[in-house]
Structure 1
């Protein structure tokens, strides 16, 4: 169907948010004093932060902070299942046989503005390697599917208990490392950090100039 026809099926109605509504990481950011990370202005245009409802983003893929059974649950997982249409999404999820921690599986977006959902199972507790694996595997999945835009919620920082500030450090380091590969950089147009809580927004605003200095 055409984009206009698809928009009529969105569960969020006309409150969707397009990529054009989300600016790339600010060019006014400055490196902190004493920071020895090299400037990354070439990849800063690939990064955005967005505070709001991830289920309203009209992009290629959004990431779901899923459980191992891909069964839907609370928090962002529940919002995504409800936004997509729980019955249809759950039927596809049940056919996938679950997902291991640190891994991801992709489904259709159904009634979401996003075309696809990449379901990532984050670690319970502070396990940096597994959290990094979620983000890297989601980006690799995006690239393999020839999709170009993706939004991440804060994986594992809710009931799974990963400290918010520490998680932000792992995420930004992982994404920067992935983007430093020229083939990866060419394969993606935008990576959006969809931050719902004020404390997560502040954590990312504080750290972005450190990992993505101008």
Structure 2
């Protein structure tokens, strides 16, 4: 099952379970905790939490969701950040792992987390999201559950990091939307086109039906060949691609189904394709990477640099307000 970053109010998430960044006493607090108590019903949630308290840092317990859209609320107590050398990372990992285990034990197919300990508990946001991502990624390698991490401050994810600086430089060099008019005029001149209608016709990308009519083999066959040639299993590929098992089965079966561009890119990332190989796979589905799309330029950056962790790529796409890779 896939993992997604979402900007939303966690109390409005229609998932089987949401996670409360609780205190060890399981009392109504401020921030996310206070919002969840209020949305669920303060009296009902307080009564449900009372016999379960206190809990230790890193532990997780479950209650009904009451008036929330979610069926359950999983309460976990995150660590207070001191210096990063007092076991905070291990405790934060336990928060995510124990919450996920509890969700699976109660047959939840979906769960939404806040960024635990990143508020008044002082955990640096960039470190907090890295702990969340790596812990959730490890869990999803063995379990089937859709996970959402609900965030509000997208700017804090990359700001000031070496990755952010490197990506900004790559975008400045390769992103062509701001030069679109100049590029189109140069293209028209180079092709000897004399009027706007002709130029628009040439520059317009062919639709999927036109593109597919020129393909040598179905996309599903090309995908099967690539999986075998890369020595990977199908389960490994769809999990690394952040794709739902049912969608992957639909793609794999064929029958003329053509996946979306972002799904094809996700498969290319999971297969650790070179840029040329990724271009070929996209062409099989009637797509192409474009330097007039900031999303495509970011994806190209990761492929060129052989950085194939899709959840990290999605963090960058999220910070630039771009669609994430994979499927829900």
Q: With structure 2 as the length reference, what TM-score do the two structures score?
A: 0.47
Extract unaligned runs of 5+ from structure 2: 165-310, 316-323
Match of 1:161 in 2: 122
Q: Do the aligned residues in 2 keep the contact of 1:60 with 1:147 (CA within 8 Å)?
A: yes
Extract unaligned runs of 5+ from structure 1: 1-44
1:62 and 1:175 map into 2 onto residues whose CA distance is 15
Aligned pairs for 1:8-19 (under 5 A) are none
CA RMSD of aligned residues (A): 2.2
Match of 1:208 in 2: 312
CA gap 1:201/1:115 in 2 versus in 1, 3 angstroms: farther
Q: Do the aligned residues in 2 keep the contact of 1:55 with 1:83 (CA within 8 Å)?
A: yes
Match of 2:318 in 1: none
Of structures 1 and 2, the larger Rg is shown by 2
Q: With structure 1 as the length reference, what TM-score do the two structures score?
A: 0.71
Q: Do the aligned residues in 2 keep the contact of 1:156 with 1:162 (CA within 8 Å)?
A: yes
Match of 1:179 in 2: 140
Q: Does 1:64 align with 2:20?
A: yes
Shift of residue 157 of structure 1?
Answer: 0.6
Q: Secondary structure at the match of 2:150?
A: strand
Aligned pairs for 1:71-110 (under 5 A) are 71-110=27-66
Q: Do the aligned residues in 2 keep the contact of 1:69 with 1:97 (CA within 8 Å)?
A: yes
Q: Do the aligned residues in 1 keep the contact of 2:125 with 2:157 (CA within 8 Å)?
A: no
CA gap 1:210/1:57 in 2 versus in 1, 3 angstroms: closer
Per residue, is there more strand in 1 or in 2? 1
Shift of residue 72 of structure 1?
Answer: 1.1
1:55 and 1:202 map into 2 onto residues whose CA distance is 26
Shift of residue 202 of structure 1?
Answer: 5.4
> Aligned pair count?
163
2:131 and 2:40 map into 1 onto residues whose CA distance is 29
